[in-house]
């Protein structure tokens, strides 16, 4: 098996609401568990930033499907690399609503104060997602919307 990590940013087609986020997370949770994909989805009202990890063929197939999803647009690949071990092994799809995050860690990972994932390098996106994952593990990150 060839393990890969993929990170992309996208823009939601319309301002995100609870129903849309819950529908995405519930589908992702079920499907990703079945396919042994792990990852994390961060979002605010208008953007998504997602990391996917798993077998290369399975991750590539999923990414192709995600690209055609009408709930978002302008999906932009920020990072794609082979990895020896997963960095987000705990969740089929962990999540964090950046709107509700006090003391946002955004400033540490980009020069921007608001969440503009298209402007981030792959490395900055990975370090932001890694920090959000840690906050989530410690129970400090809001999820859902």
Which residues contact ligand FAD (rule: CB under 6 A)? 10, 23-24, 27-28, 31-32, 41, 48, 50, 62, 65-66, 68-72, 93
Please name every residue paired with 39 in a beta bridge, in sequence order, or none if there are none. Answer: 52
CB nearer to ligand FAD: pick between 65 and 85: 65
Q: Please report how close the Cβ of residue 90 comes to ligand FAD at its closest, in angstroms.
A: 15
CA distance 125 to 80: 12
The minimum distance between CB 56 and ligand FAD, in angstroms, equals: 15
Task: Tell which residue, 21, 49, 55, 42, has the closest CA to residue 98.
Answer: 42
Helix, strand, or coil (residue 98): helix
**In the complex with ligand FAD, which residue's Cβ is closer, 29 or 142?**
29
Q: How far apart are CA 31 and CA 46, in angstroms?
A: 24
**Distance, CA of 15 to CA of 47 (rounded, Å):** 9
Closest approach of ligand FAD to the CB of residue 122, in Å: 17
Nearest distance, CB of residue 130 and ligand FAD, angstroms = 18
For ligand FAD, the closer CB: 72 or 109: 72
Complex with ligand FAD: residue 26 or 108, whichever CB lies closer = 26
CA distance 27 to 112: 31
């Amino acid at each position: 098996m060839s393990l890969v990590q993929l990170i992309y940013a996208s823009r939601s087609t319309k301002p995100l609401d609870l129903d849309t986020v819950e529908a995405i997370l519930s589908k992702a949770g079920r499907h990703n568990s079945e396919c042994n994909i792990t990852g994390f989805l961060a979002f605010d009202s208008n953007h998504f930033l997602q990391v996917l990890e798993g077998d290369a063929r399975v991750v590539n197939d999923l990414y192709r499907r995600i690209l055609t999803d009408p709930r978002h647009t302008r999906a932009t690949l920020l990072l794609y690399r082979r990895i020896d071990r997963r960095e987000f092994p705990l969740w089929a799809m962990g999540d964090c609503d950046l709107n509700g995050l006090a003391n946002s860690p955004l400033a540490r990972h980009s020069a921007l104060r608001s969440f503009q994932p298209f402007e981030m390098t792959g490395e900055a996106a990975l370090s932001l997602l890694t920090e959000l994952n840690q906050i989530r593990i410690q129970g400090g990150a809001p999820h859902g919307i």
